[in-house]
Amino acid sequence: MNGQPLQLDRSALSRAAVPLAGPEALQTSARHNWALFVFVMLIPLQNIYAVHLPRLGGGLNFLNLMFFASLLLAWHCGGRLVRGSGLNGWVWLYIGMSLLALLVGLNRVSGSGDHYSILKDQMIAVAFVFLAQLSATDAIGVRRLLLASMIPLPYMLLVVMDQHQAVSSWHYSHDLRISGPFIDLGANELAAFFTTAMLVALGLLLGDRGGSRWRLLYALAAGCAGTGIILTYSRTAYVAALLGIGLIVLLRRGGLRLLLPFALVFMLLPAVLPVSVMERFGTITVEAETRDKSTDDRFRFWAIAKEQFGRHPLLGTGLHTFQHAEINPHLTDTHNFFLRELTEKGLVGGLVLLGLLLAMARLVWYALRRSVPGSLSYGLGLGLSGAFVALVCGNLFGDRFTHYPMIAHFWLYLGLLLRSLSLPQAADPEPGLEPEHARP
């Protein structure tokens, strides 16, 4: 290296399609964003800050104060956004499109005064992708933020188990749909959070040779989150988690050797899982003759969304308008995030969302192709490959993209992946591994 910044040759960049390099590649700093560490740990714990922390009025609540404190310390850390991936640009476009949709919706429906606050909370979650890049200026910063994201999982599982114990039954009933530490959300959103956490931890466990202590942490995090998924009784999360696990195993270099052990585990699961879980899993169907009311209602809401999209195809009806009587007489969400984006933001918003999702997929694919096996960036890329597919699957049957307690960590992991790819040491010093920048 000789003290020179990381450079990738042009042929490599054209092959990878996502060049990640910059003057910040060699930057290291002893500064750490302690406010962001606390923010990351607490943001999924609504039962703590929404119930026990006072609201001071004038917007001085936990979410706003922690965001501004994290942003100020992020600037103090001296980091910069990673250039060349394309992801940051699409994120800015997504934010801009959301602001435009807000303005459109204000003139479309009545009672839209809370739409400003709703959009602000959504964008705070999105901002985690920027906060991660600005705050984690070296590998230590990346790992500390990963640790902060996993610390809440044992506590969250304890809350879930305590709630489950109070309503548990041999056969499935709707009372089993618990929300854990989530106050404003339900079991499906909690399950989506656990799915992201489990898949990222599993990818790191299989792909990052960061030492035995880190692998033990990854295993503990994956176990806590996986158990949480089971106890939420979310059918979408069951399917999404299985798809994500299968993709991680298939994409991992040498992963074919893991197919048999994972297949054996899945074969044994029905024998150890509660009967109520298996009954819930058995209700997964879209056939009109056999689907339940929840599934049947979704088809009804989707028909309304398609009708509204036909009336306002270019810019849509406006942000958060589908739940208003002027648009949807049922006053419900679409229960399909992609349909809601088309309905509320039109073709323009749909194209922006598609570009954002493709940028995420390209980033993950770049990490898997260009990272050294055993490196932190490889493990993160592996975990996010499964989490990304699970996110897409989950959003087909609900909104798993805008609720800040649920989605903030996903944006955090994207930012950490970007930062880890820009660092000069793409792998921990393990025998037989060489830094990514040293490869031809």
Specify the pLDDT at position 30: 59
* Chain Cα centroid distance, residue 185: 16
* Spatial separation of the C-alpha atoms in residues 315 and 184, rounded to whole Å: 29
Token couple for 359: 């940028």
Share of residues in the chain with pLDDT > 70 (%) = 82
| 320 dihedral zone (left: phi>0; alpha: psi -120 to 50; beta) | left
Interval 62-83 mean pLDDT? 93
Specify the pLDDT at position 392: 96
Specify the pLDDT at position 224: 98
* Spatial separation of the C-alpha atoms in residues 390 and 336, rounded to whole Å: 14
Band of pLDDT at residue 298, cut at 50, 70 and 90: confident
- Is residue 51 predicted with pLDDT exceeding 70? yes
Band of pLDDT at residue 271, cut at 50, 70 and 90: low
- Is residue 435 predicted with pLDDT exceeding 50? no
Looking at the chain, the number of H-run helices and the number of E-run strands are: 18, 0
Band of pLDDT at residue 358, cut at 50, 70 and 90: very high
CB 266 within 8 A of CB 220: no
CB 187 within 8 A of CB 229: no
Interval 186-208 mean pLDDT? 96
- Is residue 289 predicted with pLDDT exceeding 90? no
Specify the pLDDT at position 252: 87
CB 169 within 8 A of CB 175: yes
- Is residue 227 predicted with pLDDT exceeding 80? yes
- For 1-39, the pLDDT digits (tens) are 333 333 333 333 333 334 454 433 434 445 889 999 999
Specify the pLDDT at position 267: 67
- Is residue 71 predicted with pLDDT exceeding 50? yes
* Spatial separation of the C-alpha atoms in residues 368 and 364, rounded to whole Å: 6
Residue 61 main-chain phi, psi, to 5 deg: -110, 180
Specify the pLDDT at position 220: 98
Q: How big, in percent rounded to 5, are the helix, strand and coil portions of the chain?
A: 65, 0, 35
Torsion sign across C-alpha atoms 80, 85, 91, 92: positive
* Spatial separation of the C-alpha atoms in residues 185 and 110, rounded to whole Å: 24
* Spatial separation of the C-alpha atoms in residues 212 and 214, rounded to whole Å: 5
Band of pLDDT at residue 431, cut at 50, 70 and 90: very low
Average pLDDT, the chain: 85
Scanning the structure block, which residue is given the tokens 């750490």? 32
Specify the pLDDT at position 248: 94
* Spatial separation of the C-alpha atoms in residues 396 and 378, rounded to whole Å: 28
Specify the pLDDT at position 145: 97
- Is residue 331 predicted with pLDDT exceeding 90? no
**pTM over 0.85, yes/no:** yes
- Is residue 419 predicted with pLDDT exceeding 60? yes
Residue 281 or residue 143, greater confidence = 143
- Pick the most confident of 43-47, 175-179, 285-289: 43-47
Specify the pLDDT at position 269: 67
Interval 310-328 mean pLDDT? 94
Residue 352 or residue 5, greater confidence = 352
CB 374 within 8 A of CB 428: yes
* Spatial separation of the C-alpha atoms in residues 170 and 179, rounded to whole Å: 19
CB 332 within 8 A of CB 301: yes
* Chain Cα centroid distance, residue 90: 16
* Spatial separation of the C-alpha atoms in residues 189 and 237, rounded to whole Å: 9
Paired with 208 in beta bridges are 374
- For 96-118, the pLDDT digits (tens) are 999 999 999 998 898 888 999 99
